[in-house]
């Protein structure tokens, strides 16, 4: 085996976490200086900032003019659950799951909402369910990009334009990194801390006219928590989609999100963001192609994520170990990279197969990804040679 000395070049930014993700290049706390701190978010300056965040989202993400965009509580989870609790019930539901967050939405629908007419369409980590089996006379809940599996839907061609049900799409690790076909999506959710490296606790909820029609014509059978209520007297509460948030937002976080959106505009908008994520993921793909000990968790290139890139160890000296020792091997590698200060938080998600998860969204520099790769080789050899770790 080739001997890998400790590499001479380190990533300038070792932050490859899949959430919260790396801040934009050049970020500093000075970017928050214009935040209206100590003021009510309902005062004129606060409302103006919230409205600016919504309109910049529309511009950068290229959201259609007739879609509503709201800032809601509790990150992407809050946005998805707000949609599910408010919209599901009047027809059957197809639930797609191929990783932990999709499985969470299944649990919400089946165990919490206790919807009677549900179909669960599943696939194991690294694979995608058979999308041709989805029944679009039902409502459909799915993740665009499986954050914990590194598997995404390749496009929206599988969704018919004349569908009867609504499509509810958790796009939190896809927005600003993968093209979203809004004509095929009735609800889109994401959080600021993913592809634009914002701060946690705020979610974005985007509704199509069809979703608004459902909201105004359907009343769920279950009690609705205050933070989920989007209608009053059978009409949409329009203020939510103009910056009049349901609960108190952090204006520091709002300012940070606005800063990230302005940076996105400055570098060329959505096209540039997509290209940066593709470049980062491409650098890893080139390395995997020439490296015999590692492979993608997703074997099909058409469904591989360009943001949450998930890798597994395939060297037979490691795969011959039992599952617990394989997981310990990968964890020890991740710990060594963290200790060396070259890669933070790249271990596989706790419910996923053992390996690594490297965030490659647009706020990450390709030069940092390229600098990380020799360190992965270094950590693998180092752990392979550790006494008692692999035979």
Q: Tell me the C-alpha distance between 93 and 270, whole Å.
A: 32
In this predicted structure, what is the pLDDT of residue 200?
87
- How confident is the model over 68-103, as pLDDT tens digits? 999 999 999 999 999 999 999 999 999 999 999 999
In this predicted structure, what is the pLDDT of residue 387?
73
Entry pTM: 0.97
- How confident is the model over 152-183, as pLDDT tens digits? 999 999 999 999 999 999 999 999 999 999 99
In this predicted structure, what is the pLDDT of residue 188?
98
Residue ranges, CATH 3.90.1150.10, the chain: 268-384
- Residue 262 has, within 13 A of its CA and on its CB side, a CA count of 13
Please give the CATH architecture assigned to the domain spanning 32-265. 3-Layer(aba) Sandwich (3.40)
The answer, yes or no, to whether the previous bond of 318 is cis (omega within 30 of 0) is no
Q: Does domain 268-384 sit in CATH 3.90.870.10?
A: no
Residue 5 has pLDDT above 90, yes or no: no
- How confident is the model over 139-155, as pLDDT tens digits? 999 999 999 999 999 99
Q: Tell me the C-alpha distance between 146 and 98, whole Å.
A: 7
Q: Tell me the C-alpha distance between 155 and 314, whole Å.
A: 29
Tell me the average pLDDT across 181-199.
97
Burial string for 338-364 (b: 16+ CB within 10 Å, else e) reads: bebebbebbbbbeebbbbbbbbbbbbb
Residue 366 has pLDDT above 60, yes or no: yes
Residue 2 has pLDDT above 60, yes or no: no
Mean pLDDT of the chain: 96
**Do the beta carbons of residue 158 and residue 118 sit within 8 Å?**
no
- Residue 156 has, within 13 A of its CA and on its CB side, a CA count of 22
Residue 3 has pLDDT above 90, yes or no: no
In this predicted structure, what is the pLDDT of residue 198?
96
pLDDT band at 223 (very low <50, low <70, confident <90, very high): very high
In this predicted structure, what is the pLDDT of residue 1?
45
Residue ranges, CATH 3.40.640.10, the chain: 32-265
Tell me the average pLDDT across 114-119.
96
């Amino acid at each position: 085996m080739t001997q890998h000395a400790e590499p001479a070049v380190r990533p300038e930014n070792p932050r490859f976490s899949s959430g919260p993700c790396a801040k934009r290049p050049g970020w500093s706390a000075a970017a928050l200086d214009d935040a209206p701190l100590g003021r009510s978010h309902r005062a004129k300056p606060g409302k103006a900032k919230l409205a600016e965040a919504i309109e910049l989202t529309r511009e950068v993400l290229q959201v259609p003019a007739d879609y509503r965009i709201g800032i809601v509580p509790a990150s992407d989870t809050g946005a998805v659950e707000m949609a599910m609790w408010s919209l599901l019930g009047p027809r059957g539901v197809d639930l797609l799951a191929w990783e932990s967050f999709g499985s969470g939405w299944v649990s919400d629908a089946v165990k919490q909402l206790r919807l009677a007419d549900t179909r669960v369409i599943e696939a194991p980590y690294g694979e995608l369910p058979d999308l041709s089996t989805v029944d679009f006379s039902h409502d459909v809940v799915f993740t665009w990009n499986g954050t914990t599996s590194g598997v995404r839907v390749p496009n929206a061609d599988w969704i018919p334009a004349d569908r009867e049900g609504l499509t509810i799409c958790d796009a939190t690790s896809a927005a600003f990194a993968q093209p979203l076909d809004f004509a095929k999506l009735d609800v889109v959710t994401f959080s600021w801390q993913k592809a634009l490296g914002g701060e946690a606790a705020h979610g974005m909820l985007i509704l199509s006219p069809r979703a608004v029609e459902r909201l105004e014509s359907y009343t769920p059978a279950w009690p609705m928590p205050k933070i989920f209520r989007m209608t009053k007297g059978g009409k949409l509460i329009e203020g939510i989609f103009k910056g009049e948030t349901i609960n108190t937002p952090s204006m520091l976080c709002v300012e940070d999100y606005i800063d990230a959106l302005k940076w996105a505009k400055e570098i060329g908008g959505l096209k540039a963001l997509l290209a940066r994520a593709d470049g980062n993921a491409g650098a890893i793909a080139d390395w995997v192609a020439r490296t015999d000990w590692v492979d993608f968790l997703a074997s099909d290139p058409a469904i591989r994520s360009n943001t949450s890139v998930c890798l597994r160890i395939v060297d037979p000296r490691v795969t011959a170990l039992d599952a617990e020792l394989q997981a310990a091997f990968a964890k020890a590698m991740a710990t060594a990279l963290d200790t060396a200060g070259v890669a933070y938080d790249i271990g596989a998600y706790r419910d996923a197969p053992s390996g690594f998860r490297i965030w490659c969204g647009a706020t990450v520099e390709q030069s940092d990804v390229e600098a990380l790769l020799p360190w992965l080789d270094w950590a693998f050899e180092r752990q392979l040679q550790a006494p008692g770790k692999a035979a």
